[in-house]
């Protein structure tokens, strides 16, 4: 079975239509931070425990910060397994944001080991070379509880990291906009130039280097 995106659904000797996928343990995968001009992209994978129900799960974008923060420790404590992977700026600039995100997803899935049976990924792309069945689910963060949980872990983990980066570079306002291209962030970028945590492959950052007269780092 082939899905749109960077790679096909992986099949290590099994036909997805020849087995009952309802019997397979689902690993939900989602990311946070593809659009920002600064900071890593965070990817999370979660296997929920069907015996330990988690109330309040939803797409992380539909939840308040307080709701996400409250759910984070409950997910971590009740999940059968989970992993958060931070893909650094250097890798984003080297691979581009799509392929860096897919590589982060691949590492996240591999980190959970052989207990992964069926991976469901929010979006329309599946990483290549997975040792398990996998499928892309457009709008999956509103449909699949395991993806919802992954979206919350990724969002909270990345937001916390961006707040920590704010302590290093307070004049950018990373604690408020988390690296997204808000008017305030663009104004700070124009005034102060890029810092090491900015993605130099993104156009506004490259333009900031050009205005400063400094060469874009290789």
Residue 122 among known ligand-binding residues: yes
Backbone angles phi, psi at 208, to 5 degrees: -65, -40
Q: Which burial class, exposed, middle or buried, applies to 120 when counting CB atoms under 10 A from its CB (0-12, 13-18, 19+)?
A: buried
DSSP, collapsed to helix, strand or coil, labels residue 121 as strand
Residue 117 among known ligand-binding residues: no
Residue 93 among known ligand-binding residues: no
Q: Which residues of 172-192 are buried (b: 16+ CB within 10 A; e: fewer)?
A: bbbeebbbbbeeebeebbeee
Q: Are strands 26-32 and 133-137 parallel, antiparallel or unpaired?
A: unpaired
Please state the residue numbers annotated as binding site for a divalent metal cation. Answer: 30-31, 122
Please state the residue numbers annotated as binding site. Answer: 30-31, 122
């Amino acid at each position: 079975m082939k899905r749109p995106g960077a790679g096909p659904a992986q099949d290590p000797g099994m036909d997805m239509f020849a087995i009952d996928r309802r019997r397979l343990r689902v690993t939900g995968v989602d990311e946070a931070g593809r659009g920002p001009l600064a900071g890593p992209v965070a990817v999370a994978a979660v296997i929920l425990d069907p015996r330990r129900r988690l109330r309040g799960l939803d797409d992380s974008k539909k939840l308040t910060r307080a709701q996400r923060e409250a759910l984070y420790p409950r997910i971590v404590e009740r999940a059968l397994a989970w992993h958060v992977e931070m893909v650094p700026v250097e890798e984003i600039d080297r691979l581009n944001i799509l392929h860096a995100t897919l590589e982060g997803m691949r590492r996240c899935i591999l980190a959970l080991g052989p207990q992964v049976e069926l991976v469901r990924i929010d979006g329309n792309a599946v990483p290549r070379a997975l040792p398990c069945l996998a499928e892309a689910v457009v709008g999956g963060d509103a449909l699949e509880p395991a993806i919802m949980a992954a979206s919350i872990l990724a969002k909270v983990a990345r937001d916390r990291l961006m707040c920590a980066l704010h302590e290093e570079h307070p004049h950018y306002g990373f604690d408020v906009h988390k690296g997204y291209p808000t008017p305030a962030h663009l104004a700070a970028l124009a005034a102060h130039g890029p810092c090491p945590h900015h993605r130099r492959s993104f156009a506004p950052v490259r333009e900031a280097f050009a205005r400063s007269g400094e060469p874009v780092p290789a």
